[in-house]
Structure 1
Amino acid sequence: MNYRHSFHAGNSADVVKHSLLIALVRALQHKPGALTLIDTHAGCGLYDLGGDEAQRTGESMQGVRRAFADPNPLLDDYRAAVAAVNGAAVNGGAEPNLYPGSPRIMAQLLRPQDALILNEKHPEDVQALRAVMRDTSAAVHNRDAYELWLAMVPPRTARGVVVVDPPYEQTDERDRITATLAAAQRKWAHGVTVIWYPLKDRATHQRWKAQLRRIGIPKLLCVEHWLYDVDQPGLYNGAGLFIVNPPYAFTQTLPPLLVALRAALAPEGHRGDLTGDWLGH
C-alpha cells in the first residue's frame, strides 16, 4: 500500500488521528512534569490542500472540511490546531488551505519544559520538514524510523509519547512495528506509544491484533474507524490507532469525542463505526 501523505493530507484518518493526539498530549500535560514527544515518521510537516497531489484525491473534502463544517464543540481543539497554520479563526467561516502534520500540531502543544524530536527518512521530505519546523524548538533527524524509536526510549524526561505513523509501503511494516514495540516495551514499559494504521481488510487486521496481544502489554487501547457500513473489498475502509499506556484522563474523555468524530466524518449514506476498546490478552 502506497501512502505518500501529500495525497491524503486532511483526510478522515488525519482528523481522527490528530484529534486524539491533541487530547492525549493535553491529558498528559495535566501533570507539570516535562514530556518528550517523538515522531518516527514525521513527513513534511505541512501540506498544501490546494496543491496538485491533494487535489488529485480530494480526500480533505471528506475529512478536515467536514470537521470545519460540523458545529460540535468537542472538535474545537482540532479545528484550532488547523486554523493556527492558516491564520484563520476557528469559527471565522474560512476553509483551511494548509494542513498541519503531526509535527506542527505537536509543536503547538509544547510547554517550555517539553521537547519535540522528529524523524523522517525520505531525503526530500526531511528537507521540507526542516524548513517547516525552523521556527520551533524541534530536533529533526534523518534516520531509519525503527532504529530511532529504540534509540530514543526511554527519553531524558520521565514521561513521553512516541508517535509511529508509517506509510505501510513495505510488506513487513507491521512485523517491524510489532518487533520494535516489543523491544521498546522492554526498555520503557510505562511509555506512551501511538501507532497509526490503515484498515483495508478485517482478516489482516485481526492477525496483527493477535500478534500484538502476544507481546503482553497490560494497557493497549485499539481505536478503529470503519468508514462504511459494509466493507469495500480491496479499498481503504478506514484507519485506527493503537495507544499503549493511555492516561486515565484521556480514556475518560475519549467516548464522547469518538461519537463526535464518527458523526462528523461518516460518508454520505453510511453511519460508520468508530470505537475504542482494550486489546485483551
Structure 2
Amino acid sequence: MNYRHSFHAGNSADVVKHSLLIALVRALQQKPSALTLIDTHAGCGLYDLGGEQAQRTGEAAQGVLRAFADANPLLDEYRAAVRAVNVGADPHLYPGSPQFLAQLLRPQDLLILNEKHPEDAVALRSAMRGSPAAVHERDAYELWLAMLPTRTPRGVVVVDPPYEQTDERARITATLAAAHRKWAHGVTVIWYPLKDRVTHQQWKNKLRRLDIPKFLSVEHWLYDDDQPGIYNGAGLFIVNPPYAFMQALPPLLEALRAALAPDGHRGMIAANWLSD
C-alpha cells in the first residue's frame, strides 16, 4: 500500500492519529521534566485540502470535516489545533504531525523532524519556519536508532511511513526491536493502515514475538466487514503508553468512532495489549 500523506491529508486516519497524539503528549506533560518528540517520517508538515492530490481522494470529507461537524468536547483540542493553521471557520489547510507536535511544545521540550523525500523536506522546512524544530533529511530507520536514547530523560518517537516499500513492516519490526534494546523505557508510536484483517494479524503476531511489555494496539476499522481491495481503516501501536493516557483513552476512542463511522456502518475502534 502506497500511503503518501498529501493524498490522504485530513482523512479519518489522521483524525484518530492526531487526536491520540495530542492525548498522549498531554498525558506525558503532566510531569514537568522535558520531552524529546521525534517524527521519523514527517512529510510536508502542512497540506492544502483544496489541492490536486487531496481533492483526488476527497478523504477529508470523511475525516476532519466530520470531526468539525461533531459536537463532542473530547475532540475540542484536536479541532483547535487544526484551526490554528487556518483562517475562518472551515479547515482549508491540514496540519501534519509536525505541526500538531509543535503546538504541544513547552519551553523545555525538543522537536526533531525527519523527511527523506527531498521535495517534501523543502516543504517541511517552509511549513515549520519560525518553530524550534530541528529538521533532518535522512533515512528514517537510521535516524530512529541514531537519536536514541534521547537527550532528555523522556521522549516520544512517532513512526508514520507511507508504506511504499514491500519490506516496510519488516523494517519497522527490526528497528523497533533494536530501539527497544537501546531505549526500553521510551514511548514509541507506530502508525499503520488497515487493508485486511488477515495481513494485519500476521504482522501483530511478529510484533508480539518481540516480547516488548506494555505494547498497546489501537485499531480503527471503518466498516462492519472488510471491504476488499480498499483502505479499511488505520491504527497505532504504542509502546509504554503512560497511565494518564490509558485512563483517558476509552471515552476518546468512542468519541472518534461515533464521529467517523461511515454512513450505514457502526465501525469499530478498540485498544488491546499486544503483550497479553
Specify the TM-score bucket, using the shorter chain as the normaliser.
over 0.9
Give the structure 2 partner of residue 73 of structure 1.
Answer: 73
Q: Match for residue 36 of structure 2?
A: 36
- Mapped to 1, the partners of 2:115 and 2:63 lie a distance apart of 24
Taking structure 1 as the reference length, the TM-score comes to: 0.97
Tell whether 2:256 aligns with 1:247.
Answer: no
- In the other structure, the counterpart of 1:181 is 176
1:165 to 160, 167, 172: 160
Q: Which residue of 2 aligns with 1:49?
A: 49
Letter in 2 for 1:73: P
Shift, 1:95, TM fit: 1.2
- Describe the SS at the equivalent of 2:212: coil
For structure 1, the residue ranges without an aligned partner over 5 or more in a row are 89-93
1:113-168 per-residue CA deviation (whole Å, 9 max, x = no partner) reads 00000000000000000011111000000000000000001100000000000000
Find the partner of 2:202 among 207, 229, 235.
207
The separation in 2 between residues aligned to 1:156 and 1:123, in whole angstroms, is 27
Structure 2, unpaired ranges of 5+: none
Quote the RMSD (CA, aligned, Å): 0.7
1:224 and 1:15 map into 2 onto residues whose CA distance is 13
Aligned twin of 1:22: 22
Deviation at 1:280, TM superposition (A): 2.6
**TM-superposition CA deviations, 1:251-279 (whole Å, max 9, x none):** 00000000000000000000000001111
Corresponding residue for 1:91?
A: none
Partners of 1:22 and 1:97 lie apart in 2 by 21
Deviant stretches of 4+, over 6 Å = none
| Percent sequence identity over aligned pairs | 81
Q: Is residue 2:252 matched to residue 1:257?
A: yes
Q: Give the distance between the partners of 2:208 and 2:216, measured in 1 at CA.
A: 11
Of 105, 116, 119, 2:114 maps to: 119
The one-letter amino acid paired with 2:51 is: G
Rounded Cα–Cα distance in structure 1 between residues aligned with 2:59 and 2:263: 14
For residues 238 and 109 of structure 1, the distance between their equivalents in structure 2, rounded to whole angstroms, comes to 26
